[in-house]
Amino acid sequence: MSENQFTPRVFSGIQPSGDLHLGNYLGALKRFADAQEQGVQSIYCMVDLHAITVWQDPADLKKSTRELCAGFIAAGIDPEKSILINQSQVPEHAQLAWVFNCVARMGWMGRMTQWKDKAGKNAEAASLGLFAYPALMAADILIYHATHVPVGEDQKQHLELTRDIAAKFNHDYDVDFFPLVEPVIEGAATRVMSLRDGSKKMSKSDPSPASRINLTDDADTIAKKIRKAKTDPDALPSEADGLKDRPEARNLVNIYAALSDQTVDQVLAEVGGQQFGTFKPALADLAVAKMGPITAEMSRLMADEVEIDRILARGAEQAREITAPILKRTYEIIGMVGA
Ligand code: TYM
């Protein structure tokens, strides 16, 4: 029984748990802004309920949520064209997440690499929320019947789980109610690596600030971090094949390609043969030119908290027009009285 045509709809989210970095920008934010221009209805979310799966200082959480909202807008998300929301302000996310907690299996959750990484050796002490994290993520997406989810490479396994949860729900209740989402993992920078270690992804939780470029870094800091980025002694190759066993070099070229909207081959055609002494300053200039205006716009927006809160309140209202009927129908399918 097919209840829905599943019209294309984009959803994605970012945790408000600290500074946005270049990986978040190139792997997610920049691509959201590009997707918005393709005219598909898009919903972008600050996932504050996900952030508290590890303890957050309440004042910092508020600040980071508003900062992230400013970051979305500064990166090009227009609240008139896309729906911009904070997760806890749309209660249907958490309500559907409970249903999915009852659909997902413990074994599925236990296999998530992010759970294993984050819980580490002391899983007994991790929060139950951290374990259930991917079920809430599935609910974020499926409460909109979203079909396309642009993310970085590290979220791929969570999106596969989202498909498993949708398929199991549909199967258990003999419906075709939830769509099987398509991960959208495209471009040169779906996995931006640490500037200090080409085998580790750039991450908020890396203890070394030199490992990442934050969106709030000033021009000098950006230039310094790129100058100090780990590389090898060889010149840049003229073709992508030449980057195969050179993770640090590959990372910097990928970053250059994503920032300049080129392919890696186009970049190498231009810079092949250059030493890092020449390439790094060019990369730093490019990063400053692309990120500087975003940072400036973010701090301008942050000066008006009332306006940010107004945008989020309006986004929540728009979102609930979509989420309330989908939750109601879910409850009807399950057999809840009153739905
Ligand atoms: P989060 O907050 O860790 O990251 C937000 C987005 O940035 C991408 N990203 C990267 N991309 C390239 N290189 C990197 N080094 C890098 N680091 C982060 C992430 O892939 C992501 O797209 N669980 C999600 C948030 C979430 C979500 C959702 C996403 C909650 N519900 C529903 C999509 C749909 C997370 O923690 O992302």
* Residues 6+ positions from 296 with CB-CB distance below 8 Å: none
Q: What local confidence, expressed as pLDDT, does residue 189 receive?
A: 94
Atom of ligand 1 nearest to the CA of 14: 2
Domains of the chain in start order, with CATH, are 3-190+304-334 (3.40.50.620), 209-299 (1.10.240.10)
**Cα–Cα distance for residue pair 83/317, rounded to 1 Å:** 10
* Residues 6+ positions from 305 with CB-CB distance below 8 Å: 66
Phi, psi at 280, each rounded to 5° = -60, -45
How far away, in angstroms, is 273 Cα from ligand 1 center? 34
Work out the average pLDDT over 296-309. Answer: 96
Phi, psi at 43, each rounded to 5° = -125, 125
DSSP annotation of 299: H
pLDDT above 90 for 73: yes
116 in catalytic set: no
Nearest to 141 by CA among 182, 81, 105: 182
Work out the average pLDDT over 299-325. Answer: 97
**Cα–Cα distance for residue pair 151/290, rounded to 1 Å:** 20
CA 166 to chain centre: 21
pTM (2 decimals)? 0.96
pLDDT tens-digit map of 169-180: 999 999 999 999
Q: What local confidence, expressed as pLDDT, does residue 62 receive?
A: 97
DSSP annotation of 22: H
225 in catalytic set: no
Catalytic residue among 63, 156, 168, 204: 204
Work out the average pLDDT over 248-260. Answer: 97
Ligand 1 neighbours (beta carbon < 6 A): 11-15, 23-24, 27-28, 47, 50, 137, 140-141, 149, 151-152, 154-155, 158, 189-192, 201-202
Work out the average pLDDT over 156-160. Answer: 98
Q: What local confidence, expressed as pLDDT, does residue 287 receive?
A: 96
| Band of residue 67 on the pLDDT scale cut at 50, 70, 90 | very high
Q: What local confidence, expressed as pLDDT, does residue 4 receive?
A: 55
How far away, in angstroms, is 28 Cα from ligand 1 center? 7
290 in catalytic set: no
Helix (H) or strand (E) holding 267: helix 264-271
Catalytic residue among 62, 63, 118, 156: 118
How far away, in angstroms, is 13 Cα from ligand 1 center? 7
